Chain A
Amino acid sequence: MGCILTFVEQRGGVPRKASLEALSQARRVAQGAGWSVCAVLVGYGVKDKAADLGAWGAQTVYVADEERLALFSAEGYAAAIVAAAEVCPPSAIFMAATITGKDLSGRVAARLGTGCLADVVAVSLAGEKIQAVRPVYSGKALATVEGWSSKPVVVTLRPNVFAAEAGGGVAQVVDLPPVEAKIRSKVIEVKAAEGGELDVAEADIIVSGGRGLKAAENFALIRSLAQPLGAAVGASRAVVDAGWIAHKHQVGQTGKVVSPSLYIACGISGAIQHLAGMSSSKVIVAINKDPEAPIFKVADYGVIGDLFQVIPPMVEEIKRLKQE
């Protein structure tokens, strides 16, 4: 019988949403094949939360709980995942395609002498093989990819794509032996973003601004719309390159690829590189003066008009509805 081992990322002992999405999808894939689902939890002081993952479908949770794993290191975390894989042993290893997951997946795969299906938006079992769909050329095409190794393939799942659904029972918790790996490169400090600003890669709603804002200070208008929606602030490459806002806000080919449930593009014409980064959003809204702007071709809803005149009444209306 096969098994899918899912690496569950945690922050302060709390599993990240993207990891619960990956674990839920592991359960769905395993169910169809009669496979089992295991999880691996890595960190320090995380063990008492391990059994909770049973509620998300994990039958066994392997735990590496050590002080030297308190902060991230690719070598230490990869060693823990590989140790879990030796005990399990899995038919596939799932993890969320977060910054951490993308970093680890390459190291884990190479350590196991196998490949990785990276940043997938669909994954299933095709016969004995894991088959997945992943956006390539920044979303301009979709590749159906398969694991071909006799060893377990690593799969990273794009956040915000797979539903996180509780379901399952009580997990058996298994302690992993202390990680013996040498840890050379490692995190020594984590700095939280100023003002607890929401990251575009994690946000469910994104409001993005582009050149149509005309000046850096007009990002205040974007923030005024983002605030009542609980949205993250995104940006086009043009305004990041102009220095109006930090690069971490950039959505698109050389920025972040996002798939929120709602993406509102304000004053963004929709260069092919920008579309590549957001076209998999569930609902796309465009606000732009130019009716010919390419962004309207991918928009589900749009307003042809001046964003300086459209956004303030939108904010007012949203606030009014929120109060109802």
Chain B
Amino acid sequence: MKCCVLVAYVPDTASIIKIGSAGNRIDEGGIKWIISPYDEFALEEAIRIKEARGGEVTVITYAPERGSTGLRECLARGADHAVHVVGGEATFGDSYAIARVLAAAVQKTGPFDLILCGIKGVGSDASLVGAMVAELLDLPHVSGVVKLELGDGSLTAQRDVEGGTEVFTSPLPCLLATHKGLNEPRYPSLKGIMAAKKVPIQTFKPADLGVDEAELAGAGATTRWVKLELPPAKASGTILKGEEDPAAAARELVRLLREEAKAI
């Protein structure tokens, strides 16, 4: 089975976010970059499918130069091939533009039986690219997968929704956007890290895939980030000391919530 995993290379979730000088991007100084945590579930699932059924795993990223570090890590965890579409600065924040580039990369390097990606790239937090890539490639998709069973030419998947669980079926090929709970991603082994260094990374510019990045970022842009701000600082709250008389503090808290905040 041939699996493709789309990965985003994003600021570490523990990063302190500062606004960059352009006013609509973060300051990238001092940022540590990681594979988006949800993409780790996608990669892990693809590797498990390969281990169980044979086949191969191709990872694709659309990122500036630094993205190759993320691809090396994917290779170290068990991916067989890595594809780097170098770019993404100009189309930043426009999920449809990103989906168009990724869809073109999948077309160039496929066909695949299964395409996996995380439910969202942490940072832009839009949860759009998976479904958009599926639509552009005329594939079915299931978004938010927490459980997966592969059959012969089809799959059953589950996702959590508000107040319950939905069970999906889909024929293959299919795109799956993975969520936490699907699996427990592995760490790269030392052997994997060493082996990954020898694997060549296939590099493309968007133009090599028939995509005009300047057009996507210009006349073809669909959404833009015009301003980025830090949330307003919060006024300090009313903090009660409850070490000596916890019951009195508890009653006072309930009174404040009822009478002042009108929250209960």
Contact = CB atoms under 8 A, between A and B. Distances in A.
Interface of A: 72, 74-75, 78, 98-100, 102-107, 109-111, 113-119, 131, 134-149, 151, 153, 184-193, 196-199, 201-202, 205, 229, 247-248, 250, 253-255, 257, 261-262, 272-273, 276, 279, 282-287, 291, 296-306, 309-314, 317-318, 321
A303 B132 CA distance: 46
Given A188-B169, A192-B163, A304-B241, 16 more contacts: A98-B161, A99-B160, A102-B127, A106-B127, A134-B125, A140-B15, A141-B26, A184-B171, A185-B141, A190-B161, A193-B164, A255-B180, A302-B240, A305-B249, A306-B242, A321-B264
11 contacts: A99-B162, A102-B128, A106-B127, A116-B223, A131-B226, A137-B123, A142-B231, A185-B171, A190-B165, A302-B240, A303-B246
B132 A146 contact: no
A146 B169 contact: no
Contacts of B239: 286, 291, 296, 299, 301-304
B185 to A, nearest CB: 12
B143 A141 contact: no
Contacts of B170: 184-186
Give the bracket for the number of chain B residues in contact with chain A. 35 or more
Given A146-B224, A318-B264, A118 B95 contact: yes
Contacts of B13: 138, 253-254, 272-273, 276
Contact of A313 (B225, B229, B250): B250
A106 B32 CA distance: 29
B264 A229 contact: yes
Contact of A303 (B24, B228, B240): B240
B26 A137 contact: yes
Contacts of B22: none
Nearest to A308: B246
B38 interface: yes
B124 interface: yes
Interface stretch (B66-74, B202-210, B255-263): B255-263
B251 interface: yes
Q: Please give me the 3 A-B residue pairs with the lowest Cβ-Cβ distance, nearest first.
A: A115-B222, A305-B242, A106-B131
A47 to B, nearest CB: 23
A186 B167 CA distance: 8
Interface in B167-187: 167-171, 174, 180-181
B227 to A, nearest CB: 4
Contact of A191 (B93, B165, B174): B165
Contact of A107 (B134, B146, B227, B241): B134
A136 B123 contact: yes
A188 B167 contact: yes
Contacts of A305: 241-243, 246, 249
Contacts, number: 299
Nearest to B103: A110
Interface of B: 11, 13-17, 19, 24, 26, 37-38, 93-97, 99, 122-132, 134-136, 140-144, 146, 159-171, 174, 180-181, 221-231, 234, 236-243, 246-247, 249-251, 253-254, 256-258, 261, 263-264
B254 A135 contact: no
Given A298-B234, A309-B246, A185 B169 contact: yes
B258 A136 contact: no
B140 A185 contact: yes
B254 to A, nearest CB: 4
Contact of B222 (A149, A254, A255, A309): A149
Given A142-B228, A301-B237, A147 B223 contact: yes
B164 A191 contact: yes
Contacts of B97: 115
A310 B242 contact: yes
A138 B122 contact: yes
Contact of A142 (B140, B142, B169, B229): B229
Nearest to B235: A300
A97 B97 CA distance: 21
Contacts of B130: 106
Given A115-B223, A145-B93, A253 B167 contact: no
Contacts of A253: 13, 37, 122
Contacts of A186: 168-170
B17 A137 contact: yes
A72 B141 CA distance: 12
